[in-house]
Structure 1
């Protein structure tokens, strides 16, 4: 300890003011050292988390039961106008499979390899990115991959939905669930019961199945579109011939065969080429006029 400005004065140090380095970590106190501020994870904390999850699940169930699902009509495999669409969270994959390099000959690449790389990358990401940095701008590789993935999924989803809306406008189609909802609201406002979605089978049967005209029908061009059972394909605009006699008589049916109607062209010459005679075609028209309900 110095008392003056004399350079020859002896300086005596009292004690050692240096901070000593600790060679071992301080023991961490147990949660019981903080009464009322901490608790054991199992079962106390886990039980609280479970109770919160139950409350959230019940809330979701209430919302689901409150609003009816947007259901359409029963599936009709003969409806060629129906445009199938997946749920919104699969639209990006649906759009991806439309491209040439992920469909047709490359369908395995689009359905197995690409999804495998994407979801496999999510699984192994924690093992590859082991850095301690948590700020996204200090993790350029992980952040770049995340942003590119989000942009790609968003772009594919928007493009898929846009194409779907354009296709609906071009074909003048109203989605079945929207059409059914509109019909239900219209029936409700008119005080009528909601239209049933159950398909009722028509009781119209083939009349005079053993008539010679039935054999001629099997040889005619009519069977190609209207089918051997005369059911047609209503979804494609091809009407059933069961009950056709309620709308047209023999002369009218014969005129349709000779001149055509709607999208169907004249079938008279084609039937003559197939070996039918004029008498056969007249007999065919007579038999079809008997098809009444």
Structure 2
């Protein structure tokens, strides 16, 4: 520190740059002072999360490889008696829409209001439950809502599948995925290739413009064999596409009169009761005999 303007005056320095500036701000205590209660997010906590996720992923992969997902036939809305079923994670909503208060005149409640309440409540949960307590038994409202939702979704999912199996049994139908598994198993045991589900490889309808096609639509045949002669594989009712390769006109007439397999006798006369004549039924048999695979 100088007192004058003389060039030879002695200068005295005050203070030392090595002295640190004091602060009243407390230093944070290291997380290691609280064993088991806190840890560094990176890499400790993040590494643990990755390890848990990896274990869960391996478990899911093992389950997928050991039990392949059941696959049915390609969707075909023209199949008579087809019972549509959503994926398993929507079964509870599917079952919910069957109840009177969520269907019919109240379908908007089942399709929009109830799902909006459930998923909206899930989204708002972090903002509604702001308490510091993390133990579930000290959070009665949040824990109760969670348990009720879990029980409701589980019950609706299980009961939806149970109701579906009862419907199939009542109609004498076999679920598509089971029917397909049986076909693949039989093909494997006999050394044949697995049955194709490619619609392009399906047998085409022959001469769809023939007047007999309209006769078919008026007959009782369409109620079982379906529109387009596609049959009902789930109910073991064969398709009539390609029937001409195995049956001629005489054989078809005989089946219509005497029946075969699940087909009862007397359908020739039953069709007469619907206003069809012998000439109409003869044209129908002739048209069915033309249904052959393309060479």
Normalised by the length of structure 2, the TM-score is 0.63
Alignment of 1:1-293 (within 5 A): 28-31=28-31, 40-43=40-43, 45-47=45-47, 49-50=49-50, 52-54=52-54, 56-188=56-188, 190-199=189-198, 200-202=201-203, 205-206=206-207, 214-215=210-211, 217=212, 221-224=215-218, 231-235=228-232, 240=240, 243=243, 247=247, 249=249, 253=253, 265-267=270-272, 270-271=275-276, 281=280, 284=283, 288=287, 291=290, 293=292
Give the deviation of 1:95 after TM superposition: 0.8
| Whole-Å separation in 1 of the counterparts to 2:73 and 2:156 | 28
Between the aligned partners of 2:281 and 2:152, the Cα distance in structure 1 is 64
- The one-character-per-residue Cα deviations of 1:120-144 (angstroms, maximum 9, x if unpaired) are 1122223222334445454443343
Q: CA deviation at 1:97?
A: 0.7
Instruction: Output the aligned Cα RMSD.
Output: 4.5
Task: For 1:148 and 1:129, locate their aligned partners in 2 and report how far apart those are by CA, in whole Å.
Answer: 17
SS in 1 for 2:191: coil
Structure 1 residue 171 displacement after superposition:
1.6
Q: 1:131 to 1:174 in 2, by over 3 A?
A: same
Q: Do the aligned residues in 2 keep the contact of 1:101 with 1:110 (CA within 8 Å)? A: yes
**Aligned partner of residue 234 in structure 1, secondary structure:** coil
Q: Give the superposition deviation at 1:52.
A: 4.9
Q: Which has the larger radius of gyration?
A: 1
Q: Could you say what secondary structure the match of 2:283 adopts?
A: helix
Aligned residues: 252
Q: Measured at CA, do residues 263 and 155 of structure 1 come closer, stay the same or move farther in structure 2, by a change above 3 Å?
A: farther
Q: Which runs of 5+ in 1 are unaligned?
A: 1-23, 273-277
